[in-house]
Chain A
């Protein structure tokens, strides 16, 4: 009933034979993900705070950051950071500079996703009613206390669904880092393909693995955070 080609392409036994190689590749996806997510969230919050600042130069700087990185395709950013940025820096410093592929991957993905996060943070910050801040000021709280005790806890709850979606996108985006030879899952798939000459079952295996990981992790986080998040709503 099924053609041989189809049967072969969904046969996972080959992928299973290479499970250790594949899983250690997936570990690289996790590492790149964790590091670039941390960078993206920290930089994104910084850029968002610049965008809502009083002083115009800060706002311009924040907008520049967002527009530059949000509009850069991650694929191109990756190649550019890995191959062009070291040349630029090297020329500026007068030495030869090379980035470790892992570092390039984290910088590129961190920057691109910091653009998205900045917008999410900004929208969250601006959605907090002025009155909440004024109530804090009227009690003698400092602007810093108001930010960390009143604004951010609400922002995090409000942006959680969108922030989670961005984490999912970021994790999926880690599949392109093999392009600059980070030995992630996709990299392993191409390596094994080179010897086994059977790309389709390997890609099927990788697809299922990515899906299972993303779906399970995202569902778990949603489930765990929903009650906590909704408590502030009526």
Chain B
């Protein structure tokens, strides 16, 4: 039971019309580990994350969360049937997602954003959701901004609220899609610090990022995605220090000075 990966992607393919964006991606994420996903723009990183929590349905392949398939259920006779949207919604609670554009709901305060899903989706009573939400805001060091509306928060603060919103659902794993890419450099650090913190506490994370230093320091494993396949993967020391793939070497050479 303990060697069951928190997330398993198995043979994921995704096609948008003629364009095949993912061409057979398989990997495991061990519980409590951090996997960084790097690769050029258009290589399919976002699509892969979105296939994992099924914002996109993979054309082929399956994602397992703690061994439970996201896309189908098997009855006792071994017959498969596709999951309903309601069942998928239920499984999605277990995966927190953080977007490049924060995507906070502007008509709710920071705390309102954070307690919305615990109340509506998990059905927690308000007081319990607030306690959970305040703890989550505390964790991203924004307890004092609980009553602020997103329009009055900096980008870094908004992204931290978005992280708290995902954490408040107490997910099994967190997915970060370029969480710092739309932030000014001085705001990037405060978000990365929160992510480092989460990693240290043993949160299972998949992090799509262009922050090579972060990937190198924090990840247990780094995957280089190229053209819809994992071209190279391994411990950060190996991928950054001695990449085997020529493409990976080329990609990393653009970040010289950042990672090494």
Give chain A's interface residues, CB within 8 Å of chain B.
129, 131-132, 134-143, 145, 149-150, 153-154, 157, 231-234
Whether A135 touches B55, Cβ cut-off 8 Å, given contacts A141-B117, A141-B120, A145-B120, is no
The CB with the most chain A CB atoms within 10 A, among B55, B90, B105, is that of B105
In the complex the two chains form, what is the Cα distance from A131 to B152 in whole Å? 19
Which residues of chain A come closer than 8 Å to B85, judged between CB atoms? 142-143
Separation in Å of the A154 CB from the closest CB of chain B?
Answer: 5
Whether A232 touches B107, Cβ cut-off 8 Å, given contacts A138-B53, A139-B169, A141-B117, is yes
Does chain A have a CB within 8 A of B166?
yes
Instruction: Please name 24 pairs of A and B residues whose Cβ atoms are closer than 8 Å in the assembled complex, sorted by A.
Output: A131-B99, A134-B55, A135-B104, A138-B53, A138-B55, A138-B96, A138-B97, A139-B116, A139-B166, A140-B89, A140-B91, A140-B117, A140-B169, A141-B117, A142-B89, A153-B107, A154-B105, A154-B106, A157-B107, A232-B149, A232-B150, A232-B151, A233-B151, A234-B151
Which residues of chain A come closer than 8 Å to B96, judged between CB atoms? 138
Whether A149 touches B53, Cβ cut-off 8 Å, given contacts A139-B169, A142-B86, is no
The CB with the most chain A CB atoms within 10 A, among B53, B92, B104, B107, is that of B107
- Asked if B103 and A135 sit within 8 Å, CB to CB, the answer is yes
- Asked if A138 and B151 sit within 8 Å, CB to CB, the answer is no
- Asked if B99 and A140 sit within 8 Å, CB to CB, the answer is no
- Asked if A141 and B121 sit within 8 Å, CB to CB, the answer is yes
- Asked if B105 and A135 sit within 8 Å, CB to CB, the answer is yes
Which residues of chain A come closer than 8 Å to B149, judged between CB atoms? 231-232
Q: Which of B92-145 contact A (CB under 8 A)?
A: 92-93, 95-97, 99, 101, 103-107, 116-117, 120-121
* A interface SS class: helix
The 5 closest A-B pairs by CB, nearest first: A139-B117, A131-B103, A138-B97, A135-B103, A140-B93
Separation in Å of the A127 CB from the closest CB of chain B?
Answer: 12
Whether A137 touches B89, Cβ cut-off 8 Å, given contacts A149-B116, A150-B105, is yes
Separation in Å of the A142 CB from the closest CB of chain B?
Answer: 6
Which residues of chain A come closer than 8 Å to B106, judged between CB atoms? 154, 232-233
Which residues of chain B come closer than 8 Å to A131, judged between CB atoms? 99, 101, 103
- Asked if A141 and B89 sit within 8 Å, CB to CB, the answer is yes
8 Å CB contact of A132 from B90, B103, B151, B169: B103
Tally of chain B residues near chain A (CB < 8 A): 31
Which residues of chain B come closer than 8 Å to A141, judged between CB atoms? 89, 116-117, 120-121
The CB with the most chain A CB atoms within 10 A, among B99, B104, B106, is that of B106
Which residues of chain A come closer than 8 Å to B116, judged between CB atoms? 139, 141, 149
* Contact bitstring B57-90, A, C-beta under 8 A = 1, else 0: 0000000000000000000000000000110011
Query: What 18 new A-B contacts, CB under 8 Å, besides A137-B55, A141-B120, A234-B151?
Result: A134-B99, A135-B105, A135-B165, A138-B53, A138-B92, A139-B116, A140-B92, A141-B121, A142-B89, A143-B85, A149-B116, A149-B120, A154-B106, A157-B107, A232-B106, A232-B150, A233-B106, A234-B152
Residue of B nearest to A134 (CB): B55
In the complex the two chains form, what is the Cα distance from A165 to B142 in whole Å? 40
* Contact bitstring B183-202, A, C-beta under 8 A = 1, else 0: 00000000000000000000
Which residues of chain A come closer than 8 Å to B86, judged between CB atoms? 142
Residue of B nearest to A133 (CB): B103
Which residues of chain B come closer than 8 Å to A143, judged between CB atoms? 85
In the complex the two chains form, what is the Cα distance from A139 to B53 in whole Å? 10
Residue of A nearest to B101 (CB): A131
Which residues of chain A come closer than 8 Å to B97, judged between CB atoms? 135, 138
Which residues of chain B come closer than 8 Å to A157, judged between CB atoms? 107
Separation in Å of the A187 CB from the closest CB of chain B?
Answer: 43
In the complex the two chains form, what is the Cα distance from A131 to B106 in whole Å? 12
In the complex the two chains form, what is the Cα distance from A217 to B126 in whole Å? 36
Which residues of chain A come closer than 8 Å to B120, judged between CB atoms? 141, 145, 149
Which residues of chain A come closer than 8 Å to B104, judged between CB atoms? 135
